Amino acid sequence: MIQALVFYVFAAITVASGVMVISARNPVHAVLFLILAFFNAAGLFLLAGAEFLAMVLVVVYVGAVAVLFLFVVMMLDINFIKLREGFLQYLPIGGLVGLILLAELALVFGSWSFAPHAALSVATHVPDLHVVTNTDALGRLLFTHYFYLFQVAGLVLLVAMIGTILLTLRSRPGVKKQNIARQNARTKETSVELRKVPTRGGI
């Protein structure tokens, strides 16, 4: 009973903050509602018994991705009223995309019923969740059964990372940079010069 109650609280807040993301007037408030939605989704994961996924959702999405997102939105100079202008114009396309997504979700859920073996073929590698913990089970799946796929995913991320660095790297001339090794190698002899300055004479 309590579990159902908590589920409905989390679900209601998730949906409500999802609505607020697209209807908030201020983009920063929209991002903050997005973060609230993420956080409540983590709560839903926790209720489903997926504690590892819940924590990772908070660490990765809320703790890192959304921070950078918020960072960018705060720095941008956005005209709030102009942002609203095309709302009705884009409504049909947005609605269409939403409908397609809804239909696909329905198909995904439907496939459990019209392909009864689907669940079985997925479940073959899954260790017994009553014996091992959540984290352990995920680790075994990723690092043992799907090791190559995991490596490929890592490579894809590496390529994306290198691409990003390459796009933003530019060497600007005339920028003063500190070379720590050279800084530490400086001695009194090489950097300080004592001079006897004659009065009213200057150097």
Residues that bind another protein (CB under 8 A): 2, 26, 28-29, 32, 35, 51-52, 55-56, 58-59, 62-64, 67-68, 70-71, 74, 133-135, 178, 180
Q: Which residues contact 42 (CB under 8 A, 6 or more apart)?
A: 54, 55, 57, 58, 62
| Least separation in angstroms between CB 154 and another protein | 14
Measured from the CB atom, the residue of 106 and 129 that comes closer to another protein is 129
Angle between helix axes 27-47 and 2-23 (nearest 10 degrees) is 160
| Least separation in angstroms between CB 148 and another protein | 20
| Least separation in angstroms between CB 51 and another protein | 5
| Least separation in angstroms between CB 66 and another protein | 9
State both tokens at 182.
């050279």
Measured from the CB atom, the residue of 23 and 133 that comes closer to another protein is 133
Report the distance separating Cα 174 and Cα 124, nearest Å: 61
Location of structure tokens 């990772």: 56
Measured from the CB atom, the residue of 178 and 199 that comes closer to another protein is 178
Measured from the CB atom, the residue of 174 and 202 that comes closer to another protein is 174
| Least separation in angstroms between CB 92 and another protein | 33
Do residues 47 and 10 make contact, with C-beta atoms less than 8 angstroms apart?
A: yes
CA dihedral 117, 120, 125, 127 (to 10 degrees): 170
Report the distance separating Cα 164 and Cα 183, nearest Å: 31
Measured from the CB atom, the residue of 68 and 123 that comes closer to another protein is 68
